[in-house]
Amino acid sequence: MTLRTSIAAVLAATLLAGAVPALAKDWSKVRIGIEGAFPPWNATTADGKLVGLDVDLLADLCKRANVQCELIANEWTSIVPSLQAGKFDMVMSIGINEARKKIIDFTVPYASGAAAFTLSKDGSIASLPMDGQRLDLNDKDKAAPVMAEMRKLLKGKTVGVVQSTSHEQLIRANFGDDVTVRTYKTSQDRDLDLKAGRIDIGFDSAVYAATLHDKPGNEDIRIAGPLLKGPPLATEVAMGVRKDDGDLRVLFDKAIQAAAADGTIKTISTKWSKIDLTPTP
């Protein structure tokens, strides 16, 4: 057997054994899907410019990762299918939960938040328990009586949530047939119905709810009840990637960890949400 033949034979055997790794993808340019309609995380100005916490943080993360990032606005309800279809390489501002882990992978969290209810000043619900206090649903001894009280207060009411979110999952799982769940494409659509009295209460990101009152036209909407964490809520916010793009995930893991360590996430999240959302290591 000649040297050339023996080398060819070894290569063929190696390929058949699957020992040669696939060529690494070029991540010098990364396309990132973003809703563009979920302030203060992200929003779109009248002239079509994307702004918000996510946008400012991405500018920093992409610089640290040494990649050119292209932001692509996409409707929330189709953002994960669009990621899987290759429309973009990553998804911004997606909460981590077990259902999503089965479909996509996540970077380390870049923000740690909570979920909250919103009420209208002249609405049918006057108040909720544990106003502004944190409640971890994993602490069942503490959470069970509070959620039981909430079920009584919400019985027969209509709750507005954004479609295909962990907020919708929580309401359906915890309140079931006791409430009517009305879904919306955006938080803003839901807020219009809350102000008009077409729904009784909203449920959304606490970061979104905390800044809602400051916006013109929303003066009569307020955050109410406990600040919730725990399953099925996706309150640890990360970037989503396809399962076969682990090298891209690692690239941004390092950038996020560095931004958390030097206070950049604290500075940007406080600017946009009034809350330090730096994730706990």
C-alpha–C-alpha distance, residues 84 and 152, integer Å = 41
Residue from 223, 26, 254 nearest 134 by CA: 223
Decide: helix, strand or coil at residue 128: coil
How confident is the model at residue 23, as a pLDDT? 56
Q: What is the pLDDT of residue 16?
A: 45
Under CATH, which architecture does the 115-229 domain have?
Answer: 3-Layer(aba) Sandwich (3.40)
Distance between CA atoms of 93 and 191, rounded to whole angstroms?
A: 20
Is residue 3 over pLDDT 70?
Answer: no
Are the folds of 22-112+236-273 and 115-229 the same?
A: yes
pLDDT of residue 113: 87
- Residue 19 predicted with pLDDT over 50: no
Structure tokens at 182: 């009305």
* Per-residue pLDDT, 280: 77
Model pLDDT, residue 12: 46
Q: How far is CA 253 from each of CA 29, 98, 270, rounded to the nearest angstrom?
A: 17, 19, 21
Which is more confidently placed, 238 or 213?
238
Domain range list for the chain: 22-112+236-273, 115-229
Q: How confident is the model at residue 11 (pLDDT cuts 50, 70, 90)?
A: very low
Q: Residue 16: CB partners within 8 Å, gap ≥ 6?
A: none
How far is the C-alpha of 29 from the C-alpha of 192, rounded, in Å? 38
- Poorest-confidence range of 55-59, 111-115, 138-142, 255-259? 111-115
Percent of the chain with pLDDT over 90: 77
The mean predicted confidence, pLDDT, of the chain is 90
Whether the predicted pLDDT of 189 surpasses 80 = yes
DSSP 170-206: HHHHHHGGGSEEEEESSHHHHHHHHHHTSSSEEEEEH
The architecture of the domain spanning 22-112+236-273 is: 3-Layer(aba) Sandwich (3.40)
pLDDT attached to residue 9: 45
The yes-or-no verdict on residue 254 having pLDDT over 60 is yes
- Is residue 245 within 8 A of residue 26, CB to CB? The reply is no
